[in-house]
Structure 1
Amino acid sequence: MRYYDAVPAAGTRSSRSEELFRSGLRVFPDGTSRVTVERNPTPIYISHGEGAYLFDVDGRRRLDLNNNYTTLIHGHGFTPVTTAVASQLERGSCFANPTEHEIALAELLLGRIPTVDRIRFVNSGTEAVMFAIKAARAFTGRPGIARIEGAYHGAYDWVEIGQAGTPSNWGPDESPLPIPLYRGVPEAVARDVTVLRFNDIEGAERRIAQAADRLSCIVIDPMPSRAGLTAPKPGFFEMLELSARKYGILILADEVLNFRQGYHGASARYGIAPDIIVLGKIIGGGFPIGAIAGREEVMKVFGAPGAKPTLPQGGTFSANPVSMLAGYAAMSAMTEAEFGRLETMGERVRRGLAAAIDAIGGTFSITGSASLFRIHPKPKPPTQFREAFMSPEEAALMSRLSMHFFNHDILLPNGAAACLSTAMDDEDIDRIIACFQDFAADKDPIKN
C-alpha cells in the first residue's frame, strides 16, 4: 500500500502523523511533495532532529540512517552550521549580488579536489547534473551522452533514460535499451542516450565506440548508489577514461552522493580524473545546493572575463549566502581525521552485518564503502544493476527488514544507501548490528 489506500479510515484512532497525512492528501497529489518519502504505511512526520536522532510528531526518538538521503554528514542541528546560518539570517537571506561566502566555499572545495580548477554553484544536484551535461555539449558540440544503467542522476530527461528498467524491458546484456522513466518522453531523447552496464568492460567499450561521434560525455557515479552501491571492478574506469580520451568525450562524475567517500571525494578514491565533477548534498550543510566543478578549459563555456558565455547559466538562489555559509561550516569540520573516523565506523558496521549474515548462511549480502552501506536480499553481493534488481519476493523481504528496524526505532532506507554521520558513536553502531542480527536470526526471515 502507498497512497490513498494507506490512510486509516475516518473515525479510527490515529497518530499525529496519520492526521497530518490526511491533511497532506487534501493539498498534494499523493500526500507529500517528494516521491522518495517512505510510507509505513503512512509517512512519519518529523518534529525535530538532534545529532544522530530524529523525533517524530508523536514523540518517538529514532536513529537516523537516512540523513535526508546522505545529505547530513554531521547529523541534525550541527552547532557550527546553525550558528553560522542564524547570524547570516539577521543580515539577509539572499541578494542579487555575490558575497564573500561563495568564494570561501569555492576555495575550500577546489583545494580538496585534485582534478578541477573552477567551480559554479547552483541549487540542487539535479540542476548541477543538468548544467554539467549542457557544459559538455557546449564544449564538444555533440548532443549525446552515455550513462550507467540503473544509476540515479536526478530529474533531467536524458539522465533518467535507463534509470529504471526491469527484466521485462531492459534488453539484452550486450545491448541495454534506453528505457524512458515515464510515459511521454520524446523519442529523440532516448536516441541520444547510450546505456552502459556498470563493470561490463568489453560491452561498455564497444558501445562507446559505436556512438562516439555523437557523445559529449560519459556520466558516471563512482559507486552507483541506486544501482546497488557496488564497487568498480579493476580496469572499468580505466577503460572509460581511455575511450573518452580516444574519442574526445568528456568524463562527467556525479559525486552528489558519493563526495562523502573521502576528503578528496570519490573520484580521487578510485583513481579517476574526470573533466567535470558534480557536487551537492553534504557541501550545503543541510541547505539546498549543487555545484559543477571542472577543468578550466571546460568551465570557460560558462564565461570568462570580457567574453560572452557559450552556455549562459543563472539561478535566483544560486550561491545564496545561507547555503554558502552552512556548507563552509559543515565542510570545514569534515577534516581528514573526521573522514577517517567515519570510515572506521563504516567498516565496523559492514563487518558486523557480514558476520551476522555468515552466521545464518547467507540470505543477505552487504555492499558499500566509507560511511555508506546497503543490505541486499541476495547471498552474493551484486556487481551491477541487473544483479541488484529485486524480485517481488526479495522486495517484500527488504520491506520487512526496514519495518523491523523501524519498530526498533531505527530509520533504515528501503532499497537505498544507508549512511552514518559524525554524530554517531560506537553504541549506535552496535545497535544497528544487533537489530540486524535479531532479524537475521529468525529461523525463516522470509516469513518474518
Structure 2
Amino acid sequence: MSIGNKTHENPHETLFRERTQNSREFNKHAASITPLGVESNVRSFAPYPFYVERANGSYVYDIDGNEYLDLLLALGPIILGHGHPEIRAAVKEQVDTADVTATPQPISIVFMEKVAEMTPSIETVRLANSGTEATMHAIRVARSYTGKNIIAKPEGGYAGAHDYALQSVFASEEALGPANHPNTVSYGTGIPDAVSDTVVAFPFNDEEATEEILREQADDLAAVLLEPVMFSCGCLMPQQGYHEFLRELTDELGVVLIWDEVMTGFRLGPGSAQGRFGVIPDMTTFAKVAGGGYQMAGFGGRREIMDEIIPPESDEERTWDSSVFHGGTYNGHPVSAAAGLKALEILESGNVYTHIERLGDRLFTGLQEVADDVGVAANVQHIGSMGQIYMTDHDIRYYRDTWHSNETQFADWWLEAAGRGVVFGTPSQGERFFTTDSHTDEEIDHALEVAEEALRAVDHPYED
C-alpha cells in the first residue's frame, strides 16, 4: 500500500498533476481534518489522490471535471456499473419504507436466504458491515466450535483490518524468515505480540510446507483462513489440486476451513469461487459484490458450526460464556439489504458473468500482448473479471514470487494511465482491477490503448 506524498516531483506524475489541481488543493485541506486527507490508508498515494464528485456506469468524475474509465470499481463491489438503475430503484423504495430500526426486518432475512441459496457452503448465515467484521466473527465462531485458539493463514494474505488478520500480510524477508516456514509478523504497529502468538503463517500453494506447519499446530488449531485466490497480493492463483489437498487435510485434522470470499464472492460466478472450483469450505465470509455498491458483509457455513451463536435454551445453561456473541446495530441494514438482494437477483438471472468474463479475458490478455509488444517485462495474471499486471517476467506461483515485481515502475505506469483518464486499480502492486457489466468492447480497447501509451512512458522507469 502506497501512502504519503513524495517530497519531489516524479516526471511520471506530470499529466496527473496538470489535470488535478483542485484535488491537490483539496487534499491539503482534507489532511487538516483527517490523516493523509483520506478515509482509508489505501486511498492515499503519491503525489495525492484525486477526489471523486460523481460516478455513473463505467466512469467516475473528479472535482476537476475529469472523466476516468473506472477499472478500480470501488476495489471490487461494483459489478453492474455505478448507479445501476434497478439497484437505485430498490434503494429508493427501501429508503421510503424504513431505515435502520435495530429490530429484525424481513428484507434482511430475504437477502440472507438468497445468499444461502447461492453459496454452496452456507446453510445458515449472519450479516455484518465489512469484510473485516466478517472474518473477525468467523474466526471467533470457529474457535468456539473447536475449543482451540490458533488460526492459520497464508503468508501475504489480507483478511481484514482486525488484529488477528493483520498478520504476515507484508514485511521484510528478514522478518518473515524461511519461505517454507514463515514467521508470524504483525502488519503495522499497535498490535500486541500476544495476538501474533495465536496466528501461524503458511506458504500458499506449497503443499509440503503447508501440511508440515498445520500438522505441527494441529492440537491447538481452530481454523485455516484463506482467500481461494490470493487477490491480497495482486492475483495469486491456486495451483492445481491445492484446494483439494487443503480440504482433505483440514477434514483429517478436525480444523475449520474458512474461505475468505470477500473479494471473490459473487464475483467469480453465482456460486462464488467455491462454486467455480468445486471445493466446499466449512465457513465462508463475503462482502463487496454482495452489497450491490452498499455496505454489506456476512459469514456463514455449516449449521452445526453457526449454531455456536445460539445461547442454550435453559436458564441454567445460559451463562456469560455459553455461546459466541455476535452483534451490531447496523447488521443487515435494510437499505444495504435491498441493494444486495437486487444485485444478487440480477447476477443469478442474467448473463452478467458471460459479459464481464469475456471482457476480462480481452483486457488481461490484451495487457500481456501490449506489454510484450512494448518490451516491458510483465506477467499478467487473471481469473474471470479480475486480475493484475506484475511488472516482472518472473513466474508467479508463490507469494514471494510477487516480490520480483518492479513496484516503482507499476506505480509510475498507473499514474501515466490515470493522467490519460483510465484508472487501473490503485498504484499499489498488491491490489487488482476489474471489469464490470457496464463496460463495453470499445471501452476495453480504449483502456488497452492507454495502457500501451503508459507502458511506453515507463519503459525506462524513473528512479527517485
Give TM-score scaled by structure 1 length. 0.94
Q: Which residue of 2 aligns with 1:300?
A: 307
8 Å CA contact retained: 1:205, 1:239:
no
Pick aligned residue for 1:397 from 389, 409, 420: 409
Tell me, which stretches of 5 or more residues in structure 1 are unaligned? none
Q: Which residue of 2 aligns with 1:285?
A: 292
CA shift in 2, pair 1:305/1:185, >3 Å: closer
Q: Which residue of 2 aligns with 1:248?
A: 254
SS at match of 2:410: helix
Cα offsets for 1:304-354 (capped at 9, x unmatched): 794757112110000110010010111111136211211111111122112
Query: What is the rounded CA distance, in whole Å, between the counterparts of 1:233 and 1:167 in structure 2?
Result: 23
Alignment partner of 1:273 is 2:273? no
Deviates more, 1:114-123 or 1:14-23: 14-23
Query: What is the rounded CA distance, in whole Å, between the counterparts of 1:342 and 1:55 in structure 2?
Result: 22
Alignment partner of 1:129 is 2:125? no
Q: Which residue of 1 aligns with 2:437?
A: 422
Question: 1:22-61, aligned counterparts within 5 Å?
Answer: 22-61=28-67
Pick aligned residue for 1:261 from 239, 245, 268: 268
SS at match of 1:252: strand
Cα offsets for 1:348-386 (capped at 9, x unmatched): 112211222333456101011111020101113412221
Query: What is the rounded CA distance, in whole Å, between the counterparts of 2:22 and 2:233 in structure 1?
Result: 35
SS at match of 2:248: helix
Q: Which residue of 2 aligns with 1:431?
A: 446
Q: Which residue of 2 aligns with 1:384?
A: 398
Query: What is the rounded CA distance, in whole Å, between the counterparts of 1:427 and 1:435 in structure 2?
Result: 12
SS at match of 1:277: strand
Q: Which residue of 1 aligns with 2:91?
A: 85
Query: What is the rounded CA distance, in whole Å, between the counterparts of 2:67 and 2:171 in structure 1?
Result: 37
Alignment partner of 1:322 is 2:308? no
Pick aligned residue for 2:357 from 343, 360, 363: 343
Tell me, which stretches of 5 or more residues in structure 2 are unaligned? 10-16
Query: What is the rounded CA distance, in whole Å, between the counterparts of 1:148 and 1:258 in structure 2?
Result: 16
Q: Which residue of 1 aligns with 2:221?
A: 215
Alignment partner of 1:162 is 2:176? no
Letter in 2 for 1:365: N
CA shift in 2, pair 1:46/1:441, >3 Å: closer
Query: What is the rounded CA distance, in whole Å, between the counterparts of 2:305 and 2:155 in structure 1?
Result: 26
Pick aligned residue for 1:407 from 385, 401, 419: 419
CA shift in 2, pair 1:329/1:268, >3 Å: same
Alignment partner of 1:353 is 2:360? no
Shift of 1:228: 3.1
Deviates more, 1:260-269 or 1:33-42: 33-42
Shift of 1:282: 0.8
Shift of 1:64: 0.8
SS at match of 1:36: helix
Query: What is the rounded CA distance, in whole Å, between the counterparts of 2:311 and 2:107 in structure 1?
Result: 21
Cα offsets for 1:383-437 (capped at 9, x unmatched): 222111256xx11100111011101101112221101111101011111222222
Alignment partner of 1:373 is 2:387? yes
SS at match of 1:422: coil
8 Å CA contact retained: 2:394, 2:404:
no
Query: What is the rounded CA distance, in whole Å, between the counterparts of 1:39 and 1:442 in structure 2?
Result: 20
CA shift in 2, pair 1:223/1:153, >3 Å: same
8 Å CA contact retained: 1:228, 1:384:
no
8 Å CA contact retained: 2:376, 2:455:
no
Query: What is the rounded CA distance, in whole Å, between the counterparts of 2:189 and 2:51 in structure 1?
Result: 31
Aligned-residue CA RMSD in angstroms? 2.2
Query: What is the rounded CA distance, in whole Å, between the counterparts of 1:18 and 1:441 in structure 2?
Result: 26
Letter in 1 for 2:357: E
Deviates more, 1:164-173 or 1:304-313: 304-313
Query: What is the rounded CA distance, in whole Å, between the counterparts of 2:63 and 2:7 in structure 1?
Result: 19
Cα offsets for 1:167-212 (capped at 9, x unmatched): 2321011210101112342222222211011111100010000001
Pick aligned residue for 1:175 from 171, 181, 191: 181
8 Å CA contact retained: 2:23, 2:50:
yes
8 Å CA contact retained: 2:4, 2:46:
no
8 Å CA contact retained: 2:274, 2:281:
yes
Query: What is the rounded CA distance, in whole Å, between the counterparts of 1:69 and 1:27 in structure 2?
Result: 24
8 Å CA contact retained: 1:105, 1:328:
yes
Query: What is the rounded CA distance, in whole Å, between the counterparts of 1:442 and 1:417 in structure 2?
Result: 21
Cα offsets for 1:135-183 (capped at 9, x unmatched): 0001000011000111111111111111112223210112101011123
Query: What is the rounded CA distance, in whole Å, between the counterparts of 2:432 and 2:44 in structure 1?
Result: 14
Query: What is the rounded CA distance, in whole Å, between the counterparts of 1:140 and 1:33 in structure 2?
Result: 37
Query: What is the rounded CA distance, in whole Å, between the counterparts of 2:22 and 2:458 in structure 1?
Result: 35
Query: What is the rounded CA distance, in whole Å, between the counterparts of 2:53 and 2:345 in structure 1?
Result: 28
Letter in 2 for 1:25: A
Q: Which residue of 1 aligns with 2:345?
A: 332
Shift of 1:91: 2.5
Alignment partner of 1:101 is 2:116? no
8 Å CA contact retained: 1:151, 1:221:
yes
Shift of 1:42: 1.3
Letter in 1 for 2:449: A
Shift of 1:15: 2.3
**What is the aligned length?**
443
SS at match of 2:126: strand
Seq. identity, %: 26
